[in-house]
Amino acid sequence: MDKSFYTIFKTFFKVGTLLLGGGYVILPLLQSELVDKKGWIDSDGLCEYYALGQSVPGIIAANMSIFVGYKLRGQIGALAAVLGIVSPAFLTIVLLASILEEIVHLSFIQSIFWGVGIGVIMLLYLATKEMWNKSIIDKFTCIIFFASFILSACFKVSPALIIILSIIAGIIYRKKHQDSVGEKILRECKDDLS
Amino acid sequence: MIYLELFLQFFHIGLFSYGGGYATLPFLFHIAEVQKWYTAKQLTDMIAISTITPGPVGVNVATFAGFATSGLLGALVATTSIILPSYILVIIISKLLEQFKTNKNVQAAIYALKPAGCGLLAAVGIDLFVSNANIWGMVLLGILFFISTKQKRDPLFYLGVSAIAGLAAGYMHLIS
């Protein structure tokens, strides 16, 4: 099984290129590339990394890539995987950003941006709903949700401070069934892929 | 020193955003308000573009924000620094996998972090909703919402519909 820097980079570069529309497609994509085509990990392993990827801060697709890359070839594999997943996004945006500055003042472009500005609100609603389903599982998580929401929306408290406060709240409150969040993701992932 | 500031801001986003690419948005809107490197309107455009271009949305938006702040080097600094905390943490966790999965404090923190990330994102949604509150915008949002209750669609679908609606609205001079 070929696990060279180049092969790992190329595989994740492909995933990064096909990853459109905001991460919803990451699971089926990784399943097809890593599990079916390359056989680097199995479905259960993928789900485990999916759950773990969400337990780490930052972009989930990047987290999962680093986990898998590290498992394949240690530090070298992790570096190859993260460079692979990030490069397509980086290159596309750098190219687009320069073009965009030239065309952004055109009136039909302005009209499109007016429309997609509304579309983005819809996407935020959908993303929030998806996160809600994954993370609000009892009274405590519900309280954390509304507390964060109110502190941010009404009092403009910095997001980092809210995150730190919620960590403290979680540790003070901790109780027996606290790992059920990770287990829920793992279970749903296995259902999705089977 | 703009690059050092970029590094610090995006590193802190990478470290504190919980819940994936969209979870970085509350931080990026906060930057728009405090640092004024770009406006909230520009950021909204960036989110739309990031959704229709290849790659994780979080990476796209970071690259975009860095580029808007200080060109190619800014894009490189922003993208590297938003990923760096993930890289360091994932390597550490990979080495201590069993301890990580069973440590009570870690699990308790994660348990509380996710709803917090979700609450922050909801606040951004409400902010954008309020700042876009004009009649035709609400009509379009109502239509998108109605479609979503009928059938689950891809994010690209909603952006496609709203782009076309935007063009139509511009053509009919409904938006100024």
As given in the structure block, the two tokens for residue A117 are 């500005």
Closest CA to B18 of A175, A8, A194, A165: A165
Characterize B136-165 residue by residue with b for buried, 16 or more Cβ atoms within 10 angstroms of its Cβ, and e for exposed: bbeebbeebeeebeeeeeebbbbbbbbbeb
Q: Is residue A20 in a domain? A: yes
Chain A residues with CB inside 8 Å of B50's CB? 93
- For residues A21 and B155, the answer to whether their CB atoms sit within 8 Å is yes
Q: Is residue A171 in a domain? A: no
Distances (CA, A) of A123 to A15, A117, B70, B75, B157: 22, 10, 28, 24, 10
- For the entire predicted model, the pTM comes to 0.87
- Cβ <8 Å between B166 and A125: no
Nearest to A57 among B16, B64, B162 (CB): B16
DSSP string, B51-90: HHSSS-HHHHHHHHHHHHHHHHHHHHHHHHHHHHHHHHHH
- Chain A nearest-CA distance from B60, in A, is 5
By C-alpha distance, the chain B residue nearest A175 is: B108
What is the spatial distance between Cα B27 and Cα B19, in angstroms, rounded to a whole number?
13
Domain boundaries, given as residue ranges, for chain B: 2-103
B111-167 confidence digits (pLDDT tens): 888 899 999 999 999 988 988 878 999 999 999 999 999 988 888 889 899 999 999
Average pLDDT, chain B: 90
Q: Which of the residue ranges A68-72, A101-105, A148-152, A188-192 would you say has the lowest mean pLDDT?
A: A188-192
Q: Is residue A144 in a domain? A: no
For the segment A13-24, the average pLDDT, to the nearest whole number, is 79
Chain B residues with CB inside 8 Å of A116's CB? 45, 48, 159, 162-163, 166
- Chain B nearest-CA distance from A106, in A, is 12
Q: What is the pLDDT of residue A163?
A: 92
Q: Is residue A182 in a domain? A: no
B62-76 confidence digits (pLDDT tens): 998 899 888 999 999
Q: Is residue A31 in a domain? A: yes
Domain that holds residue A18: 1-103
By C-alpha distance, the chain A residue nearest B173 is: A111
For chain B, the maximum distance between any two Cα atoms, rounded to a whole number of angstroms, is 61
ipTM above 0.85 for this complex? yes
Which residues of chain A from 118 to 157 reach within 8 Å of chain B, CB to CB? 118-128, 131-132, 134-136, 140-142, 144-149, 152-153, 156
B14-43 confidence digits (pLDDT tens): 999 988 788 899 999 999 888 888 889 889
Q: Is residue A154 in a domain? A: no
Structural domains counted in chain A? 1
What is the spatial distance between Cα B37 and Cα A66, in angstroms, rounded to a whole number?
30
Q: What is the pLDDT of residue B76?
A: 96
Closest CA to A101 of B53, B49, B162, B30: B49
Q: How many CB pairs under 8 A join A and B?
A: 369
Q: Is residue A89 in a domain? A: yes
Q: Is residue A166 in a domain? A: no
- Cβ <8 Å between B122 and A173: no
